[in-house]
Amino acid sequence: MAQYTQLGLQDAASPLMEELLHFHDHALMIITLISAFVLYIILTMVTAKTTDKYILDSQEVEIIWTVLPAIILVLIALPSLRILYLLDEINDPHLTIKAMGHQWYWSYEYTDYEDLGFDSYMVPTQDLTPGQFRLLEADHRMVIPVESPIRVLVSAEDVLHSWAVPSLGVKMDAVPGRLNQVAFVASRPGVFFGQCSEICGANHSFMPIVVEAVPLEHFENWSSLMLEDA
């Protein structure tokens, strides 16, 4: 989950998010070095006591500061395009879940084998138990088996919403009348939080998404329990 004064991205919980994190570090390092270098040049220029008033141009330095930025841009573009194509690859999902956005809650349907569906409302602040996270907890979590490719079909029943879980590297708009598909693999067990990411009315900030990745046997037990309760 996001933390107070957090500066970087959340820890990755899926291989795609790991790739995105590493690319972010790569790009951030490049722009930090460039900015530090430019700041140094500016400081030396500004604090210099002497000036050479006969410098008009220099072909050599022009070539350097054309070629070097072009090379740096290529070094940023190649990993970026690689990740772009990686995000769109076809995987073979083991499970398909439908996430429907409503005002102001999410509902999840697991209809591959049986008819399992439930709503997921935010836990109100006054009902939180100690240790729970304010504005992030939901009464029913979307439970998935760990290390299995999951396909989530996102749509909405009323207005635009967006289903986002940053630590899984997933964000997909929920458009009424449209099915959007997003796929991911949870590489470790855990609880991953996200929030609705498209303005949808008064309680847009109060419809969180909670994904819980558990081993397969626990997932099967959970789904049998949920089916019994329904």
Partner 1 sequence: MLATVRKQLRNHPALIPLFIFIGGGAAMSMLYLARLGLRNPDVCWDRKNNPEPWNKLGPTDQYKFFAVNMDYSKLKKDRPDF
CA distance 76 to 80: 6
User: Which of residues 24, 26, 82, 134 is near partner 1 by CB under 8 A?
Assistant: 82
47 vs 59 by CB, closer to partner 1: 59
Binding mask 85-104 for partner 1 (x = CB under 8 A): xx-xxx--------------
Sheet holding 190-195, edge to edge: 142-145, 208-214, 190-195
User: Which of residues 67, 199, 227, 230 is near partner 1 by CB under 8 A?
Assistant: 67
Minimum CB distance to partner 1, residue 103 (Å): 33
User: Which of residues 60, 115, 217, 229 is near partner 1 by CB under 8 A?
Assistant: 60
Minimum CB distance to partner 1, residue 190 (Å): 24
CA distance 93 to 62: 52
Judged by CB under 8 A, does residue 59 bind partner 1? yes
Choose among 90, 89, 108: nearest CA to 98.
Answer: 108
Residue 96's CB: how many other CB atoms inside 10 A?
Answer: 15
Amino acid present at 51: T
Q: Which DSSP letter does residue 115 get? A: -
Which residues of the chain form contacts with partner 1 (CB under 8 A)? 57, 59-60, 62-63, 66-67, 70, 81-82, 85-86, 88-90
